[in-house]
Structure 1
């Protein structure tokens, strides 16, 4: 017996009238799902956990929810959309800081940046804060084989040392360039330069050999003109380090790209680990800049469908401390040649369109790799006993508020996709998993705000591994090696499947540091070191509002002084989803702002 070809939708609305607790959950069942499966989902009173479930954690670098399953009309992501069909989709998932290393540290330890005391790339929590147990380490301690492939923790930075004139060498050939130039790995200390090995991993973490070339000038262009670099992609004898860089893979070093290497390593791992339970973390680097991806993915994204966002300007009544001058883009050859005055001169709109186009093309490239990885799980008959989590370390601005990249407390910089697929919970194991047919069907959707630090306790509960909640006081939390500052998402998943309501945290808390009130490029106000931080922006996202306070911060005590607040922001997402109108200074919102600020100051959001 089967349901109709049309999707069956089950809707739950809480009885309370408060906008921040008035939650709608949509559960859309896949076409032709057996009725027994539907009854299983609806009547199940508990989520069965198992100690032998495998875990696949996929972290996609700099990925905002530019996916079809998140209703982005410009996206072409058939494989992640198909994964969403068999997953719980968290519509409002947020990073704790919009910067790679701090966000990943927070996700993998389930501690907030303030607890870790880490806001940059240059410190290792085990040395400066506490010997905290990580998510993979917890699984390793309980008999799992754990592996890190690609960018999981932030490993460090690649520095290029020119031993000869780079342009002269580049005119000869890529091979000659690589022969006469040396790449050295700068081992940033955010994960001790070794991805927290051997604590977190059963074997040495894998990094693609071609990582050393990720910032190499391998982008070909007809001339040095920025417009020509982007409007026409030609293959001549000049090589550049570009922001936008579609390439022929066969012409790249070793005829491959880093994320392709990571995919192949993941497939090899899966083939060799079919008997023992595993925790596999796979980190894909794109769409992180430079936007270097196979040229063939441009065909899915013609330039005519892209334009800069309508709010391509700095919003009124918002302090300059909130602005990020996107210094990482300015360092690229093509952006640098635009000669833009830092920090406020905007990227020309035609150029911005091409950046957006390449961002979406790079996302489609990663989607293709994700599909290959999921197909391998299916081929090896692992999909039916593997929990799959797909997320990102933070979002990425595509011109909103005239900003690019991350480095801010706006929605576009902090919001990430979060999909969790659980065998026999979010899908039945006897359903054939296919990613080849492109059909955008919505998953089970959870609307409550959640945080990346919720992933650790969620996966632990699904695998029946114990973890306690950290003490409220940061000083006490730092004394506990194994605890979580997040909340397991299992109650939300259970509620979504059974059409019930559960109490949940008020919202998601994030933060971003600044060296001063004014944005600057040299030194970069986007990435201040700990000793340079003087202001911390704390932000709380509830179902309806985002409230942000920029307050005085001591790099010595690593603590804010809420008595010294420099600026505030407040956005009503009921009428202003793009965060264009700051209502923090409106008398109409005084009560709501006061309540949000008190919650933010408390630092915990549990009801």
Structure 2
């Protein structure tokens, strides 16, 4: 056979069998999956345009795959976001939006890790994948690697922090200890995952290895060397000091969990600039700390010869506000909270590409299933991104949307006001709906082309009448699909 005919036959094979993805013609082994979850990671990364952030390893991941800049979680809070991603079900279903455990709200669902296990994969996890310990135990059992703690509480190691922890049962909001990476949880969890990769390589089965990095979630604790990357004089305060103009009382919360830490101002008290600078510096240090752990994982894959047969996906469970709009938490439908870093690396796939149209974190499950040539479960609600991963430059045939919800008073159905958000290439539209009655009590619209930081709600501007009509139609479908008959309506009464 001549070389031209050989090439022609390969091309015909790809046409006849479109499900064969990337290098599957050359390889007979199924793909492995390295599944990296990062807590509270906003898109303030060098590869996302934030040149003041030192994130060379996540940048490396982006340079070797496809980076999604308009990716959104379906609820900007750890519990519900992760439950939705891992189950493949939107949080307005089955009471997921209340933030209760997967074990409680979804006892019989086939989660992504169980799906891979059911399909013959070895599974393992290290760090935070599910929010609740009972879910980790139920989902991973003895394949979860429990670290030996060298810290107290949420990761305190210095004498000063331990004294505060002993007195208040909670440590400070940030800490910089001159210690090795593995003295803090993310370092030891990453080391344990690297050791597990060595074991998995020796077994004659594909694997699904889930690694959950806790930082940059509060408290902002990281080894001193990462703090040293960000001199105090280099830290700038947020330029977004005010709530969005014309925003509703449901739009934002103020300080959230930050108020739980000793020395932090209460919910409606101003945070001094010096404290805000230290908090932002600690967040940046934590980002560089987890970036180093991502680098360790990538290096280990290469060292073990696994890189060319392992899909790597990195995702954040939601964004975070660092004084933006006067707020220090997530918990909203604002773009700063729903928009996440989202990167896919596929062996022999396209490299260094960026996709700017909306996608959802919910899409991870079906995408991994198709990449690994496994039959997708019928219950999952996301869409596969494989065609995008093959050709990110191709415009979508139909307009894309991403959906998110935020429930005010989520534990008391009698009072719950659900914020339904839909994002397209230009707008973020939100309807706040009294769940019990269906009454729309507030609406918001943000024009990202004119106002990318969402500083003004333009819902009353007549020029957007057609846009509002279109997006309200999309939200209507999500409202109609919401489950009202679940067992978690009155978890807490206020």
Q: TM-score, normalised by structure 2?
A: 0.86
Q: Tell me if the contact between 1:312 and 1:399 (Cα under 8 Å) persists in the aligned partners.
A: yes
Of 93-102 and 302-311, deviating more is 302-311
Matching residue of 2:353: 444
**For the Cα contact (< 8 Å) 1:80–1:371, is it kept in 2?**
yes
Match of 2:178 in 1: 248
In 2, distance between residues paired with 1:213 and 1:248? Answer: 16
1:110 to 88, 93, 98: 88
SS of residue paired to 1:138: helix
2:317 match:
393
Alpha-carbon shift at residue 402 of structure 1 (Å): 0.8
Cα distance in 1 for partners of 2:340, 2:216 equals: 13
Q: Tell me how far apart the structure 1 counterparts of residues 104 and 282 of structure 2 sit (CA, whole Å).
A: 39
Is the aligned partner of 1:536 residue 2:418?
yes
Conserved? CA contact 1:221–1:238, under 8 Å: no
Give the conservation status (yes or no) of the 8 Å contact 1:395–1:414. Answer: yes
User: How is 1:26-425 mapped onto 2 (pairs within 5 angstroms)?
Assistant: 48-49=20-21, 50=24, 52-124=30-102, 127-129=104-106, 131-156=108-133, 193-195=134-136, 197=138, 200-201=139-140, 203-210=142-149, 213-215=152-154, 218-219=157-158, 241-249=171-179, 256-274=183-201, 275-335=204-264, 338=265, 340=266, 342-343=267-268, 345-425=269-349
Q: CA deviation at 1:142?
A: 0.8
Q: Is the 8 A contact 2:151 2:183 kept in 1?
A: no
Within 5 Å, give how 1:480-519 maps onto structure 2. 482-496=378-392, 499-504=393-398, 506-515=400-409
Q: Could you tell me how far 1:598 is from its partner in structure 2?
A: 1.1
Structure-1-length-normalised TM-score:
0.71
How many pairs are equivalent? 456
Aligned to 2:3: none
In structure 2, runs of 5+ residues without a counterpart are 1-9, 481-494
**Higher helix fraction: Structure 1 or Structure 2?**
2
Q: CA deviation at 1:325?
A: 2.3
Contact 1:218 1:241 in 2 (8 A): no
Q: Report if the CA contact (8 A) 1:97-1:103 is conserved.
A: yes
Alpha-carbon distance, 1:140 to partner:
0.6
Structure 1 counterpart of 2:489: none
CA shift at 1:501, angstroms? 2.8
Q: Verify the 8 A CA contact 1:140 1:201 in the aligned structure 2.
A: no
* Equivalent residue, structure 2, for 1:596: 471
SS, match of residue 149 in structure 2: helix
1:519-573 deviation digits (Å, cap 9, x = unpaired): xxxxxxxxx425575211111111100001111013xxxxxx44x1111111000
Q: Deviations over 1:406-425 (max 9, x none)?
A: 11111111111111000011
CA distance in 2, matches of 1:322, 1:239: 32
**Separation in 2 of the partners of 1:282 and 1:239?**
28
Q: Distance in 2 between matches of 1:71 and 1:328?
A: 28
Deviation of the 1:201 alpha carbon: 3.5
Q: Indicate yes or no: 2:362 matched with 1:453.
A: yes
Compared with structure 1, are the counterparts of its residues 128 and 70 closer, same or farther at alpha carbon in structure 2 (3 Å cutoff)? closer
Return 591-600 or 372-381, whichever deviates more: 591-600
Give the direction of change, closer, same or farther, for the CA distance of 1:211–1:133 in structure 2 (3 Å limit): farther
**Structure 1 gap ranges (5+):** 1-39, 157-192, 230-236, 428-442, 469-481, 516-527, 555-560
Q: 1:583 to 1:293 in 2, by over 3 A?
A: same
Alpha-carbon spacing, 1:261–1:217, altered in 2? closer, same or farther (3 Å): closer
Asked whether the equivalents of residues 101 and 135 of structure 2 are also in contact (C-alpha less than 8 Å), the reply is no
Provide closer, same or farther for how the CA distance between residues 415 and 238 of structure 1 changes in structure 2, counting only shifts above 3 A: closer
What displacement does 1:321 show? 1.4
